[in-house]
Structure 1
Amino acid sequence: MSNLLFICSKNQWRSPTAELLFKGHLLHSARSAGTSDKARIRLNQKLMDWADVVFVMEYKHRDLVKQRFASNSKRLVVLNIPDDYQFNDPELIEMLSAALADWL
Protein backbone atom coordinates (compact mmCIF):
# COMPACT_ATOMS: atom_id res chain seq x y z
CA MET A 1 0.00 0.00 0.00
CA SER A 2 1.27 3.46 -0.91
CA ASN A 3 0.70 6.54 1.23
CA LEU A 4 -0.30 9.50 -0.93
CA LEU A 5 -0.13 13.07 0.37
CA PHE A 6 -1.95 15.90 -1.43
CA ILE A 7 -0.87 19.49 -0.83
CA CYS A 8 -2.44 22.83 -1.68
CA SER A 9 -2.38 26.19 0.10
CA LYS A 10 -5.13 26.18 2.73
CA ASN A 11 -6.19 22.52 2.60
CA GLN A 12 -9.80 23.56 2.00
CA TRP A 13 -10.68 22.69 -1.59
CA ARG A 14 -8.20 20.99 -3.87
CA SER A 15 -6.18 18.69 -1.63
CA PRO A 16 -9.16 17.48 0.48
CA THR A 17 -11.02 16.72 -2.77
CA ALA A 18 -8.07 14.65 -3.97
CA GLU A 19 -7.88 12.89 -0.61
CA LEU A 20 -11.58 12.04 -0.84
CA LEU A 21 -11.05 10.35 -4.21
CA PHE A 22 -8.97 7.72 -2.42
CA LYS A 23 -11.31 7.09 0.51
CA GLY A 24 -11.65 3.33 0.88
CA HIS A 25 -9.10 2.64 -1.86
CA LEU A 26 -7.69 -0.88 -1.67
CA LEU A 27 -4.12 -0.01 -2.68
CA HIS A 28 -3.52 3.52 -1.42
CA SER A 29 -4.05 5.56 1.69
CA ALA A 30 -4.38 9.33 1.26
CA ARG A 31 -4.10 12.43 3.41
CA SER A 32 -4.01 16.12 2.63
CA ALA A 33 -2.42 19.26 4.02
CA GLY A 34 -1.76 22.90 3.22
CA THR A 35 1.33 25.09 3.10
CA SER A 36 -0.30 28.25 4.54
CA ASP A 37 -0.30 29.23 8.21
CA LYS A 38 -4.10 29.34 7.80
CA ALA A 39 -4.34 25.78 6.46
CA ARG A 40 -7.01 23.50 7.91
CA ILE A 41 -4.30 20.84 8.34
CA ARG A 42 -0.83 22.35 8.10
CA LEU A 43 1.92 20.44 6.33
CA ASN A 44 4.54 19.12 8.75
CA GLN A 45 7.52 16.77 8.75
CA LYS A 46 5.46 13.93 10.24
CA LEU A 47 3.13 13.97 7.22
CA MET A 48 6.10 14.16 4.87
CA ASP A 49 7.67 11.15 6.59
CA TRP A 50 4.36 9.23 6.31
CA ALA A 51 4.03 9.84 2.57
CA ASP A 52 5.46 7.64 -0.15
CA VAL A 53 4.37 10.04 -2.91
CA VAL A 54 3.67 13.76 -2.50
CA PHE A 55 1.31 15.47 -4.94
CA VAL A 56 1.25 19.27 -5.03
CA MET A 57 -1.31 21.37 -6.86
CA GLU A 58 1.07 24.09 -8.10
CA TYR A 59 4.78 24.66 -8.64
CA LYS A 60 4.84 27.13 -5.74
CA HIS A 61 3.79 24.28 -3.42
CA ARG A 62 6.61 22.12 -4.77
CA ASP A 63 9.10 24.89 -4.10
CA LEU A 64 7.84 25.36 -0.52
CA VAL A 65 8.01 21.64 0.16
CA LYS A 66 11.58 21.49 -1.11
CA GLN A 67 12.57 24.52 1.00
CA ARG A 68 10.94 23.50 4.26
CA PHE A 69 11.07 19.72 4.46
CA ALA A 70 13.38 16.78 4.06
CA SER A 71 11.82 15.22 0.97
CA ASN A 72 14.81 14.18 -1.10
CA SER A 73 13.76 10.54 -1.29
CA LYS A 74 10.09 11.30 -1.96
CA ARG A 75 8.51 11.25 -5.35
CA LEU A 76 7.12 14.77 -5.80
CA VAL A 77 4.45 15.27 -8.48
CA VAL A 78 3.09 18.65 -9.60
CA LEU A 79 -0.56 18.32 -10.72
CA ASN A 80 -0.70 21.91 -12.03
CA ILE A 81 -4.29 22.55 -10.90
CA PRO A 82 -5.06 26.22 -10.22
CA ASP A 83 -6.90 27.49 -7.15
CA ASP A 84 -10.14 28.07 -9.10
CA TYR A 85 -12.40 25.38 -7.63
CA GLN A 86 -14.50 24.76 -4.55
CA PHE A 87 -14.38 21.53 -2.53
CA ASN A 88 -15.71 18.58 -4.53
CA ASP A 89 -16.41 20.74 -7.60
CA PRO A 90 -17.28 18.36 -10.49
CA GLU A 91 -14.72 20.01 -12.78
CA LEU A 92 -12.04 19.68 -10.09
CA ILE A 93 -12.92 16.00 -9.60
CA GLU A 94 -12.65 15.47 -13.36
CA MET A 95 -9.23 17.16 -13.50
CA LEU A 96 -7.94 15.22 -10.50
CA SER A 97 -9.29 11.93 -11.82
CA ALA A 98 -7.52 12.47 -15.14
CA ALA A 99 -4.25 13.53 -13.51
CA LEU A 100 -4.36 10.63 -11.03
CA ALA A 101 -5.69 7.94 -13.38
CA ASP A 102 -2.64 5.74 -12.90
CA TRP A 103 -3.20 5.77 -9.12
CA LEU A 104 -6.97 5.39 -9.03
Structure 2
Amino acid sequence: MHRPNLLVICGKNKRRSRTAGYIFKNDHRFNIRSAGLSPQSNRKISEGDFNWADITLVMEPDHKSKIRKLYGHMDLPPIHVLDIPDEYEFMDDELVEILTTKINTLLEIDFEA
Protein backbone atom coordinates (compact mmCIF):
# COMPACT_ATOMS: atom_id res chain seq x y z
CA MET A 1 0.00 0.00 0.00
CA HIS A 2 1.33 3.41 -1.00
CA ARG A 3 1.67 5.81 1.90
CA PRO A 4 0.93 9.32 0.64
CA ASN A 5 3.48 12.08 1.14
CA LEU A 6 2.20 15.18 2.97
CA LEU A 7 4.11 18.42 2.70
CA VAL A 8 3.18 20.96 5.42
CA ILE A 9 4.24 24.57 4.91
CA CYS A 10 4.10 27.75 6.99
CA GLY A 11 6.07 30.98 6.98
CA LYS A 12 9.33 30.02 8.70
CA ASN A 13 8.94 26.35 9.67
CA LYS A 14 9.47 27.25 13.30
CA ARG A 15 6.05 26.68 14.87
CA ARG A 16 2.99 25.55 12.88
CA SER A 17 4.39 23.30 10.14
CA ARG A 18 7.18 22.10 12.41
CA THR A 19 4.58 21.09 15.01
CA ALA A 20 2.62 19.17 12.36
CA GLY A 21 5.76 17.36 11.25
CA TYR A 22 6.60 16.48 14.82
CA ILE A 23 3.20 15.17 15.91
CA PHE A 24 2.69 13.07 12.77
CA LYS A 25 6.28 11.90 12.18
CA ASN A 26 5.53 8.30 13.21
CA ASP A 27 2.04 8.07 11.69
CA HIS A 28 1.71 4.81 9.73
CA ARG A 29 -0.85 6.28 7.29
CA PHE A 30 1.44 8.75 5.53
CA ASN A 31 4.90 10.30 5.31
CA ILE A 32 5.21 13.93 6.38
CA ARG A 33 7.71 16.67 5.73
CA SER A 34 7.58 20.31 6.87
CA ALA A 35 9.13 23.44 5.41
CA GLY A 36 8.84 27.21 5.35
CA LEU A 37 8.47 29.83 2.64
CA SER A 38 10.79 32.44 4.17
CA PRO A 39 14.54 32.58 3.48
CA GLN A 40 14.89 32.58 7.31
CA SER A 41 13.08 29.23 7.60
CA ASN A 42 14.47 26.39 9.67
CA ARG A 43 13.99 24.30 6.52
CA LYS A 44 13.25 26.25 3.33
CA ILE A 45 10.88 24.79 0.76
CA SER A 46 12.41 23.45 -2.46
CA GLU A 47 11.25 22.13 -5.82
CA GLY A 48 12.27 18.67 -4.61
CA ASP A 49 9.68 18.93 -1.83
CA PHE A 50 6.91 19.49 -4.36
CA ASN A 51 8.16 16.61 -6.50
CA TRP A 52 8.03 14.37 -3.40
CA ALA A 53 4.59 15.50 -2.17
CA ASP A 54 1.21 13.99 -3.02
CA ILE A 55 -0.58 16.79 -1.19
CA THR A 56 0.52 20.13 0.22
CA LEU A 57 -0.98 21.73 3.32
CA VAL A 58 -0.46 25.42 4.01
CA MET A 59 -1.49 27.45 7.02
CA GLU A 60 -2.82 30.59 5.29
CA PRO A 61 -4.32 31.53 1.90
CA ASP A 62 -1.34 33.83 1.31
CA HIS A 63 1.01 30.82 1.49
CA LYS A 64 -0.90 29.12 -1.33
CA SER A 65 -0.69 32.27 -3.47
CA LYS A 66 3.04 32.61 -2.84
CA ILE A 67 3.67 28.96 -3.76
CA ARG A 68 1.71 29.33 -7.00
CA LYS A 69 3.69 32.47 -7.83
CA LEU A 70 7.12 30.99 -7.04
CA TYR A 71 6.55 27.44 -8.30
CA GLY A 72 3.80 27.90 -10.89
CA HIS A 73 6.08 26.48 -13.56
CA MET A 74 5.84 23.08 -11.84
CA ASP A 75 3.12 20.48 -11.79
CA LEU A 76 2.20 21.12 -8.15
CA PRO A 77 0.34 18.64 -5.95
CA PRO A 78 -3.07 19.74 -4.61
CA ILE A 79 -2.69 22.56 -2.08
CA HIS A 80 -5.10 22.79 0.85
CA VAL A 81 -5.33 25.79 3.18
CA LEU A 82 -5.71 24.84 6.86
CA ASP A 83 -6.54 28.42 7.98
CA ILE A 84 -4.37 28.37 11.11
CA PRO A 85 -3.13 31.84 12.12
CA ASP A 86 0.43 32.46 13.24
CA GLU A 87 -0.42 32.89 16.91
CA TYR A 88 0.83 29.65 18.46
CA GLU A 89 4.17 28.48 19.77
CA PHE A 90 5.80 25.19 18.75
CA MET A 91 3.82 22.26 20.24
CA ASP A 92 1.18 24.55 21.82
CA ASP A 93 -1.63 22.29 23.08
CA GLU A 94 -4.31 24.14 21.11
CA LEU A 95 -2.18 24.07 17.94
CA VAL A 96 -1.65 20.31 18.32
CA GLU A 97 -5.41 19.80 18.68
CA ILE A 98 -6.24 21.99 15.66
CA LEU A 99 -3.61 20.34 13.44
CA THR A 100 -4.65 16.84 14.48
CA THR A 101 -8.33 17.51 13.76
CA LYS A 102 -7.81 19.31 10.44
CA ILE A 103 -5.22 16.91 9.04
CA ASN A 104 -7.17 13.80 10.06
CA THR A 105 -10.34 15.23 8.50
CA LEU A 106 -8.50 16.12 5.31
CA LEU A 107 -7.01 12.64 5.07
CA GLU A 108 -10.45 11.06 5.35
CA ILE A 109 -11.66 13.24 2.48
CA ASP A 110 -8.61 13.06 0.20
CA PHE A 111 -7.16 9.64 0.86
CA GLU A 112 -9.98 7.76 2.55
CA ALA A 113 -7.48 6.84 5.25
The unaligned stretches of length 5 or more in structure 2 are 108-112
| Structure 2 letter corresponding to 1:93 | V
Whether the aligned pair in 2 keeps the contact of 1:9 and 1:35 (CA below 8 Å) is yes
After superposition, where does 1:28-43 map in structure 2 within 5 Å? 28-43=30-45
1:57, 1:81 within 8 Å by CA — same for their partners in 2?
yes
The structure with the largest alpha-carbon Rg is 2
In structure 1, stretches of 5+ residues that fail to align are none
Provide the rounded CA distance (Å) in 1 between the counterparts of 2:21 and 2:76: 22
With structure 1 as the length reference, what TM-score do the two structures score?
0.93
Q: Quote the offset at 1:99 in angstroms.
A: 0.8
How many positions carry a matched residue from both structures?
104
> Normalization by structure 2: what TM-score?
0.86
Task: Describe the superposition over 1:14-67 as per-residue Cα deviations: whole angstroms up to 9, x where unpaired.
Answer: 001111121111120000000001001001101111110000000110001111
CA distance in 1, matches of 2:98, 2:42: 22
Please identify which structure carries the higher helix content: 2
